[in-house]
Structure 1
Amino acid sequence: MPSKIRTRYAPSPTGIPHIGNIRSALFAWLYARHNNGDFIVRIEDTDQARYDADAERAIIDSLNWLGLNQDEGPDVGGQYGPYHQSKRLDLYSEAAIQLVKDGRAYYCYCSSERLGEVRKAQQARKEPPGYDNHCRDMDFGANGDFTQFEGSTKNGVIRFKMPLEGVTTAHDIIRGEIAWENQLLDDFVMVKSDGFPTYHLASVVDDHAMEISHVLRGDEWLASLPRHWQIYNALEYEKPIFVHLPIILGTDKSKLSKRHGAASVFEYKDQGFLAEAMINFLALLGWSLDDRTELISLPELIESFTIERIGSSPAIFNVDKLEWFNGMYIRNLSNGDFIEKLSSFWQTDQTPNSFSSSHLEAIAPLVQERTKKLNEVWNQISFLEGDIEYPPIRLWSGMGDKKAQRAERDGTHIEIPENAPEVRNWLSVSLNTLEQLNEWEDEAMEESLQIVISNLGTKPRQLFGALRVAITGGVVSPPLFPSMKILGREKSLQRISQAIALLD
């Protein structure tokens, strides 16, 4: 093992970072922290046509939200900078020219039209697409002196000269020795016509210059490994240790996409997911502590994270599991921490509310145990602020009437059931009973209404369900009697009266 562990996260700022991308960053960060090493962030912005400044900011903000702090990078600097590849072009040019001089690379002036014709011909012959080595043995000199020939362009590129025979054997920590037939690997572009390097050259040069010891990246880059391996050999660079992380699939074992619930970390943040839960969930997408432990704190992850525990089998992304993790982390918060995170979320989400701190302290325990995402809380407790409105049929939905629930779900109209007078009587008796209470306490309310249920010969689900709708306007809410206590006697009795009026 190298004397100093140095890992890197090297995203391209062409779009908002996706889950797989952030998982790679997390694994690199955890491995560096486990070994008291350095975590470097490098922005690979050589694709200038697709560069997006907002995407770059989103990358850094994603890391900051998750707490994946940089030891070196665009925000903090460092002795191996600059940390934007667009500011390191001289390094890549120097390496490319050296490879040309050494006979390991060459200038190519094939036009896009000619390359298109080559591809068409290969497809017609049912051959795999690839460069046909047209310029491989032409002598343009070390500086790429241009000479006209048929199918040429003035804007040349530099291609790496892959071996024509034999195999390229590379090593990956997870998969071991892997061999590729060289005849199946074409001479790829290292430097584009605009003078910017491709990923293949730039990543090798930078990983060497920045003394990266371990490259942890997604499985999709495994196909690039033989090309990178050959560049390392040609430049006589010491190779880092490669770790290609298992692919992430959806629950149906197909490629992960938005239909599986996959989104950027900001979308999850906006839904009210906690950073701690997201880290725990992402850490288990390809890594495990053992075959049973699921909830693992960040300090425990840092202490336990090793490459040996990374599997080779595809990881399964399950948004329901992520919600379970988030619910567990929310429930494990102290009352004060839950209120702090909820208030911060509402402020960011611009949720209008006028709850005082004491009011929130009373409400929080009612919703914390049943909350999976912070964005669910407001819908559960919004009845405490302002007036409520609901259709009369919802009283039956609250009582468990399947037809009423189906009608509300489908947005169809049905007539009020024939037992409306009976339900109205239940609510009237309940109102009269509650009005006579000396103390507006949970236990007193429940005990008095249990007597009402017994006297009327109804069931708790029916009466309490109708009262829940009357008090909150919904069929799902925090516990009924604590909610009535917080709402207060006057408002609670007023809302039951309003429900009775709906059935007149």
Structure 2
Amino acid sequence: MNNNVRVRFAPSPTGYLHVGGLRTALYNYLFARKNGGVFVLRIEDTDRTRYVEGAVENLVGSLQWAGLEFDEGPGAPGDFGPYTQSERTELYREYANQLIEEGHAYRSFITPEQLDEMRKENLAEEAITERIRKDRNLSADLVQKLLSENRPHTIRLKAPLTGEIAFKDIVRGDIRVPAEAIDDQVLLKSDGYPTYHLANVVDDHHMQISHVIRGEEWLPSTGKHVLLYQALGWNIPEFAHLPLLLNPDKTKLSKRQGDVSVEDYRSKGYLPEALVNFVALLGWSPADDNERLSMDELIDAFSLERVGKAGAVFDQQKLEWFNGQYVREAPIEQRIAMCSPHLEAAGYTLPEPETLATIVEASTKYLTFPADITEHAAVFFTADATPESEEAKQVLETEDAITVVSALRRNLEGLEDWTADNFKAEVKSVQKETGIKGKNLFMPIRVALTGSMHGPDIPLIAEVFGKEKTLARLQG
């Protein structure tokens, strides 16, 4: 494929970026990068009733957080701007009028109130369509008279009444839509703003979009778009419609089932690498079935031919697994940066950098989210080692426990070079000296030092505590 590939992600600024939108943006981005093409961000804000202030900034911020840098769009000027549809309305009106002049569209004077009334009367959709289409046959004189009276009106597509519309979809193959299944879609609303259908086609043509990669929910509208391309005499881009994202119960992923926005996951401590890796596999799979993929690896492996038709289940537990993997494998500097704010928020005073690094390293294997550090690193900050439970208390009361703790304290008193490795060596010496091993050896030491039966590696705890504090805890 050559470098004439141009794709776009075209969200509406109606709130936060949905994870489904993130997947659409990601697939467009991967396809562009794989093929040396251009990734465009276009803001489709023609539905002013749903516009949310600040949504554009949030969309851009979420894409950048996820590592999806667009080549053209708001704040990234290109040769095909502006990239916000509300700034392009004259262009849409021009083409709406051209469609009327060439017999592919007509002015409809049926009001929204009349349509509502027809639906309240439980008229069949076929009857409503028949009523709407009567305006196809209004005489030019009557149309001019109604316009001179400033009668509100829309401009509708004059869909064919017979035949079929055929197009090819990269994911779904050849598709044929019978003409009777296509209604006379509104192209220009009475307020002068275009609907999605007209603006989408005009912009994709003018921005030289080569591939339209979008969600399956737009598949039923594609026949209308093909009609518009044909009516305007334009080349039709290639289409690829992505499968739905589903809840575990196979219903469409929605807010009613929990978090669905990128901002939700970001605020809960999911890393962009984890979310992107997980979302990439919702409907697409690499040829070698490898699941752990960096952005560069995703770009190298991606192809639209490996996108499936079936809906993809959003497995929250799998996403958490991915996040844990990426958190635990992050460089220590990144882990410290991620975890430190949570320790401070919990009221802990951060120690000097080397000790903080040891605390984070010791706690890392328990982390799924950076916030988990407050639970698993608590032993390093508590003032005493009071047993956390009756079971923990009983651990220290056995004869083996008394022997182990006493012997270890005695051996440690002479230890000069206080490190985790040297502490570990002294524990082994106690094992040889007493013959006590396994749980009977380690559990009393853990409870004596921390009061807990679970937690980070004991030698690392001792290293952070230092000699004086460790001996004091072993004294009881």
> What's the TM-score, normalizing by structure 1?
0.82
User: How far did 1:265 drift?
Assistant: 2.0
Secondary structure of 1:155's partner? coil
Question: CA-to-partner distance for each residue in 1:1-34, whole Å, 9 max, x for gaps?
Answer: 6760001010001011111100000000011011
Pairing of 1:458-473 with structure 2 (within 5 A): 461=439, 464=442, 468=446, 471-472=449-450
Q: 1:484 to 1:79 in 2, by over 3 A?
A: same
Partner of 1:356: 352
- Residue 116 (structure 1) shift: 1.5
The match for 2:56 is: 56
**Matched residue type, 1:162:** A
- What is the match of residue 423 of structure 2? 442
Separation in structure 2 between the aligned mates of residue 477 and residue 128 of structure 1, nearest angstrom:
71
Counterpart in the other structure of 2:191: 194
1:288-437 to 2 correspondences below 5 Å: 288-343=285-340, 346=342, 353-385=349-381, 387=383, 394-396=389-391, 423=397, 432-436=406-410, 437=412
Give 2:135's aligned residue. Answer: 136
Secondary structure of 1:488 counterpart: helix
Match of 2:220 in 1: 223
Letter in 1 for 2:204: D
Check the 8 A contact 1:261/1:319 in 2, yes or no. Answer: no
1:271-310 superposed Cα distances (whole Å, 9 cap, x missing partner): 3222222222221112221252111222222222221122
* Counterparts of 1:212 and 1:388, CA distance in 2: 65
Distance 1:158 1:387, change over 3 A: farther
Distance 1:347 1:218 in 2: 41
Contact preservation (8 Å) 1:119, 1:130: no
2:209 aligned partner, one-letter code: I
Runs of 5+ unmatched residues, structure 2: none
Structure 2 SS opposite 1:118: helix
**Does the residue aligned with 1:75 lie in a helix, a strand or coil?**
coil
Name the SS of the counterpart of 1:53 in structure 2.
coil
The runs of 5 or more residues in structure 1 that have no matched partner are 400-418
Q: Which amino acid aligns with 2:232?
A: L
SS of the residue corresponding to residue 153 of structure 2 reads: strand
Q: 1:350 to 1:83 in 2, by over 3 A?
A: farther
What is the TM-score with the length of structure 2 in the denominator? 0.86
Q: CA deviation at 1:218?
A: 0.9
Matching of residue 75 in structure 1 with residue 78 in structure 2 = no
The answer to which of 223-232 and 428-437 deviates more is 428-437
Question: Root-mean-square deviation (CA), in Å?
Answer: 3.4
Partner of 2:206: 209
Structure 1, 288-297 or 125-134: larger mean CA deviation: 125-134
Q: Which amino acid in structure 1 is aligned with residue 184 of structure 2?
A: D
Aligned to 2:16: 16
- 1:416 aligned residue: none
Moved more, 196-205 or 479-488: 479-488
Q: Tell me how far apart the structure 2 counterparts of residues 382 and 143 of structure 1 sit (CA, whole Å).
A: 80
Contact (CA 8 Å) 1:122, 1:129: kept in 2 or not? no
Over 3 Å counting, the alpha-carbon distance change for 1:173 and 1:347 in structure 2 is farther
Deviation string for 1:143-183 (max 9, x for gaps)? Answer: 964639xxx99432211111122222222111111122222
Which letter does structure 2 place at the counterpart of 1:296? L
- Listed as ranges, the matches of 1:7-156 within 5 Å are 7-122=7-122, 132-139=131-138, 141=140, 145=144, 147=146, 154-156=151-153
Identity score, percent: 38
Q: Per the alignment, in what secondary structure is the counterpart of residue 107 of structure 2?
A: strand
> Is residue 2:466 matched to residue 1:488?
yes
Give secondary structure in 2 for the equivalent of 1:217: strand
